[in-house]
Structure 1
Amino acid sequence: MKTREDLIKNPALVREKALGALIGLAVGDSLGDAARTQANRETYGITTDFNSGASWSTDDTEFALLTAKTLITCGGALTEDAVVRAWFENVVVQDEYKRGGASEKAAADNLRAGLRPPLSGKFSTFHMSDGAAMRIPPVGIIKAGDPGGAAALAEIDASISHYGDGIWGAQAVAVAVAVAMVDGGMEEIISAAMKFVPSDSWLYHNLTTAFRLIEEAQGNILDCWMPLHDRLRASTWATTAEAIPAAFAVLKLEHRDFRSGLVLAANFARDADTIGAVAGAILGAKYGLSAIPPAWVEKVRYPSGTCLQFTKGLDLAAVGEDLAALIR
């Protein structure tokens, strides 16, 4: 595994990995969203590529772009005030959020009502959703090789809309991306992420349950695929304690290259766009932009603004370049 200093010495590699993580997130988001549709299941069973009618982005990618924009605007020196200001400028101003997550809608309502972090995140029925985890990879990008720094910034960003497991899931994902950015092995990535999840949390319980099922199956995907779904299932599919263990379980099972791991994640079912987005960001950080099929990169490069209007037409490559510039 490289150090942060090693990575900084190679600007081309910094760019390769920063763009890989951000675009990998978008690919996982879009492919997962397509894979879980009834039409794709009836036509293909397992989705391995984009068809002509595949959707673009969901709230996963577009809220990740919000996190990226916030980090870029403040030069990586993230504060609670910077996050609140960004949400007022880009989220609260909208009257509706097509495809938007319940946790983000609740946070916007709480901000309008005068609440601020951590109460804007805590006072919400949806504070344990996976909404913060899906948007947090840009933090891991700029904190490449710095797990503690990634966890600290993730808490600042996540607290506006989440609490408890919702924050810990975001920290786990940010840390995983940070370690993947410096070529950590998958066991190193997962181990680092687990250090920031309290052992008495629901998230920790489900993570260890998932890893135990994989161990009992000796890593055989066919033997543990259905048990993983059965044991991780929560009453609502966008729950951190379900989606994040699912993403890490997939990564543990299959990580030989970007495409194989991403296809498995996108086909996990339930909140497959978030599972795909998280896995895609980690795999993209690890293997870089060149490991992602070029057609997939072009498919997701320019957002549709489906959820957050400011994202329409942004160039993910340019945003990735700006995030790379913060790694110094």
Structure 2
Amino acid sequence: MLNKKDVLNNREQLTKRAVGSLIGLAIGDSFGDAARMQANRENYGFITDFTSASAWSTDDTEFALLTAKTLIRCRGKLTSEEVVRSWMEDVVVQDEYKRGGASEKAAADNLRAGLLPPLTGKYSTFHMSDGSAMRIPPIGIICAGDPEKAIRLAQIEAEISHAGDGIWGAQAVAAAVAVAMADGTMDEIFEAALMPVPEDSWLFYNMKKVFEIIEYADYDIISSWMKMHDACRASTWATTAEAIPAAFGCLKLMNKDFKSAVVLAGNFARDADTIGAVVGAVMGAKYSIDGIPLEWAQKVRYPSGTCLQFTKGMDIVKTAESLAELNCTD
């Protein structure tokens, strides 16, 4: 992994990686959402592309843009108060959230009731969902080469809606993106992802179990695939301890290029949009926008505002460029 100084010395590459990560998240979101649709399963079984027109976006992309908006407004000086301000302005004010996650809806209700973080995250049935991990990559982007900082900021952002595994999953993804932004090796990315996760947690147990399955199968996808699903399956598919090990398992099996990794992750089924979004964010940071198919990037550049209305038509590229600049504000 490059050190922080080396990362900052190549501003052009830093910006390309930032754009790659945020665009990659949006691609993984749309791809995974398309792959899990029953019609696509019936028609193709395994899909290799998604919509021929502009892609739709789900809460994965749009809540990530909320995180990005918060970071840009506060110039990376993230506090719980800044997170609450954003949620009050852009989440709580909405009457409904089409395609929105249960953890985010619960957090909005808690804010309306007058609660503040960390209670807004703790007092929720859905505090262990993967909703925090899907929206956290912007923090990894602004912490290029500094996974420890990414872990600290991820807790501040995630605790508005999550607790326990829900926070540790967000920290794992943020740290992984931070290392990928600094051209870290895959081993360094996996090491960073495990760093904030307590060894007695459900998330850690499933991460290690999935990695062991893959290593025992000598990284063979066919031999690992169904065993991975069985090993980390939870009662609901949007659980951190299922989706995040699935995402990192896909990354361990396929990481030679962006497209192959996202295709594999998007076809995982279950919470495939989040699994795809996490893989897309990490691979986009590692290989930059230069490693992403142009036609895929064009499909997702302007979100549909399906969940959060303020995101409709936002330019993901310009947002990512603004995030990249925050690496230079320490």
Same fold (TM over 0.5): yes
Considering only aligned residues, what root-mean-square deviation do their CA atoms show, in Å?
0.8
Which residue does 2:322 correspond to in 1? 322
Q: Secondary structure at the match of 1:326?
A: helix
- Aligned CA distance change for structure 1 residues 324 and 54 (closer, same or farther; 3 Å): closer
- Contact in 2 for aligned 1:34/1:55 (Cα 8 Å): no
Tell me, in whole angstroms, the C-alpha distance in 2 between the residues paired with 1:3 and 1:261. 26
Tell me, in whole angstroms, the C-alpha distance in 1 between the residues paired with 2:216 and 2:233. 19
Within a 5 Å distance, the mapping from 1:15-26 to structure 2 comes to: 15-26=15-26
The offset of 1:52, in angstroms, is 3.0
Which residue does 2:94 correspond to in 1? 94
Which residue does 1:238 correspond to in 2? 238
Between 51-60 and 246-255, the greater mean CA deviation after superposition: 51-60
Tell me, in whole angstroms, the C-alpha distance in 1 between the residues paired with 2:183 and 2:145. 9
Within a 5 Å distance, the mapping from 1:1-328 to structure 2 comes to: 1-52=1-52, 55-328=55-328
Write the letter of the residue equivalent to 1:218: D
- Contact in 2 for aligned 1:129/1:240 (Cα 8 Å): yes
Tell me, in whole angstroms, the C-alpha distance in 1 between the residues paired with 2:127 and 2:276. 21
Tell me, in whole angstroms, the C-alpha distance in 2 between the residues paired with 1:149 and 1:39. 42
Tell me, in whole angstroms, the C-alpha distance in 1 between the residues paired with 2:158 and 2:52. 35
Once the two structures are superposed, residues 150-181 of structure 1 have per-residue CA deviations (whole angstroms, 9 ceiling, x without a partner) of 00000000000000000000000000000000
Q: Secondary structure at the match of 1:76?
A: coil
TM-score (structure 1 length as normaliser): 0.99
The offset of 1:182, in angstroms, is 0.5
Tell me, in whole angstroms, the C-alpha distance in 2 between the residues paired with 1:195 and 1:311. 32
Once the two structures are superposed, residues 72-128 of structure 1 have per-residue CA deviations (whole angstroms, 9 ceiling, x without a partner) of 000000000000001000000000000000000000000000110000000000000
- Contact in 1 for aligned 2:56/2:304 (Cα 8 Å): yes
- Contact in 2 for aligned 1:265/1:272 (Cα 8 Å): yes
Q: Which contiguous aligned blocks of 4+ residues in structure 1 show a shift greater than 6 angstroms?
A: none
The offset of 1:239, in angstroms, is 0.1
Tell me, in whole angstroms, the C-alpha distance in 1 between the residues paired with 2:181 and 2:52. 32
Write the letter of the residue equivalent to 2:91: V
- Contact in 1 for aligned 2:176/2:190 (Cα 8 Å): yes
Q: Which runs of 5+ in 1 are unaligned?
A: none
- Contact in 1 for aligned 2:65/2:311 (Cα 8 Å): yes
Q: Secondary structure at the match of 1:274?
A: helix
TM-score (structure 2 length as normaliser): 0.98
Write the letter of the residue equivalent to 2:84: V
